[in-house]
Amino acid sequence: MEPLGFFEIWAGVIVRFWPVWLGLAVIMGSSAVFKRRLGLYGRLYDSNVGMIGLGIVLFWILTAIFPEIIATFDPIEQFASIKRKPPGTIETSAGIPAYFGGDNLGRDLFSRMVHGSQFVLTVAPAATLVAYMVGISLGLPAGYFGRMMDAVLTFIANLVLAFPVILLFYLLVTPGVRETAIPNVMSGVFFAFPIVFFVLLFYSRYATRPQLLAVLLAATGLIGAWLYAGLVFDSDPFGLIRLEPNELNIFAAVVFASSPGVFRIVRGLTMDIKTRDYVAAAQTRGERAWYIMLWEILPNARGPLIVDACLRIGYTTILLGTLGFFGLGLAPESPDWGSMINQTRGFIRIAPTIVLPQTVALATLVLGLNLLADGLREQSLKD
């Protein structure tokens, strides 16, 4: 069968992404209508750069939600008829085109690119969120109290930051370390921070309302214990949470590498904001230190932190791609963008387009996150 032409390929790709176009129309259309009620997110629609970045990021988020509908083949299924073939080659047994061609093992590159978005858009935001919980929980008291606590925590953060990131990941994610208890211990420590954060958040606010506080703490304990058991010990009683082999190690390594940077940003913002008049007023009212940190200082630091979070997710995306490229990502058959680049780069002379889908996917996601951060920065400066 004759391969598809250039326009036929892109027409087919556009049609395959119909759930994404529908989702984008609903989300961005409704958001544009009600943008005046949506705070900082709504103001993004007044920024061309922010809207473009948001559109790109939403495109990949929706792709990660609907991979089974968008993809044409199973991402690990192999077909001899499309092995190292150019884009548009028809898979003979099914009569379905491989829109972006096949890799060196005959797996459909389009389907693997689509399914690969799930790993990136699960690990990168989740690891960044946990890193922020760690950085905020340590950066707030370090900046607020100062003295010995600040000196010790800053020294530890600088020590981690001074270590080369790639070498750090080689030490944490290599097979020899995977088989030890180190990743589980690190994950156990890191995943405790979100629970501690929410306990302090609710206690500092509702200590004078014991009934509401008891309900909030009970909910935090139950949900936290469920997530903790599933993520750290792989023993979720409901079977809803399960990390694939090496995902926990990658997750722990990303959080370990990202937390010191977040700590330094939060510490610096805290040292600046604690001198403001509204903080002095809260101190005069006799508010507790954690109330001031979590309900006076942290909300007023949200602008820079949101912008940094978008950039940090982009950095983490690049880092995950780099790990996959060096063989430190998921298992080889997994559709990890970095691993796909590594597995196909040796066949560029045979099939010049073989590395393009996953490379362009990685680049566009990072570009979208950077543009989104620029839009958020532009709008947050207007506050």
Same domain, 229 and 285: yes
User: What's the burial of 367, exposed, middle or buried (CB within 10 Å: 0-12/13-18/19+)?
Assistant: middle
Rounded Cα–Cα distance for residues 52 and 46 (Å)? 11
Tokens of 343: 């597995």
Asked whether residue 139 is domain-assigned, the answer is: yes
Residue ending a domain, choose from 268, 285, 318: 318
Amino acid at 115: H
Residue 334 lies in a domain: no
Q: Is residue 327 in some structural domain?
A: no
- Asked whether residue 324 is domain-assigned, the answer is no
- Cα distances from 76 to residues 71, 106, 353, 357, in angstroms, run 12, 9, 19, 16
Find how far residue 101's CA is from the centre of its chain: 28
pLDDT one digit per residue (tens) for the chain, 383 residues? 678 888 999 999 999 999 999 999 999 999 988 888 888 888 888 889 999 999 999 999 999 999 999 999 999 899 988 998 889 999 888 889 999 999 988 999 999 999 999 988 988 898 899 999 999 999 999 999 988 999 999 999 999 888 887 777 777 776 655 566 677 788 888 889 999 999 999 999 998 899 999 999 999 999 988 888 887 777 777 777 776 657 777 888 888 889 999 999 999 999 999 999 999 999 999 889 999 999 999 999 988 999 899 999 999 888 888 888 877 767 667 788 888 888 888 888 888 888 999 999 999 999 999 999 999 888 777 76
Look at residues 321, 341, 325, 335 and name the one whose alpha carbon lies nearest to residue 75.
335
166, 180: one domain: yes
pLDDT value for 174: 67
pLDDT at 57: 95
Tokens linked to 149: 């606590």
Do 154 and 46 belong to one domain?
no
Q: Quick check: is 329 in a domain? A: no
| Max Cα distance, the chain (Å) | 80
User: Are residues 128 and 164 both part of a single domain?
Assistant: yes
Say yes or no: 174 and 198 in one domain.
yes
Predicted confidence at residue 231, as pLDDT, reads 78
Euclidean distance between CA atoms 148 and 274, whole angstroms: 18
Looking at the fold, whether 138 and 190 belong to one and the same domain comes out as: yes
Same domain, 151 and 284: yes
245 and 258 in one domain? yes
Count structural domains, the chain: 2
d(CA 315, CA 317): 5
Report CA-CA distances (Å) from 365 to 135, 147, 211.
Answer: 25, 41, 45
Cβ atoms of 89 and 81 within 8 Å: the answer is yes
Q: Clarify whether residues 178 and 312 are in a common domain.
A: yes
Q: Which domain holds residue 282?
A: 119-318
pLDDT at residue number 338: 86
The whole-number pLDDT of residue 177 equals 55
Q: Is 236 a domain residue?
A: yes
Q: Are residues 154 and 172 in the same domain?
A: yes
* 19 inside domain: yes
- The one-letter code for the residue type at 27 is I
* pLDDT score for 212: 94
Do 120 and 330 touch, CB atoms closer than 8 A? no
Q: What is the pLDDT of residue 15?
A: 95
Report yes or no on 331 lying in a domain: no
Q: Are residues 168 and 298 in the same domain?
A: yes
Four-CA torsion 73, 74, 76, 78, nearest 10 degrees: -50
Handedness of CA 90, 91, 96, 98 (dihedral sign): negative
CA distance 366 to 317: 7
Domain boundary among 284, 318, 352: 318
Q: Are residues 90 and 192 in the same domain?
A: no
Give the pLDDT confidence score for residue 187 in this predicted structure: 81
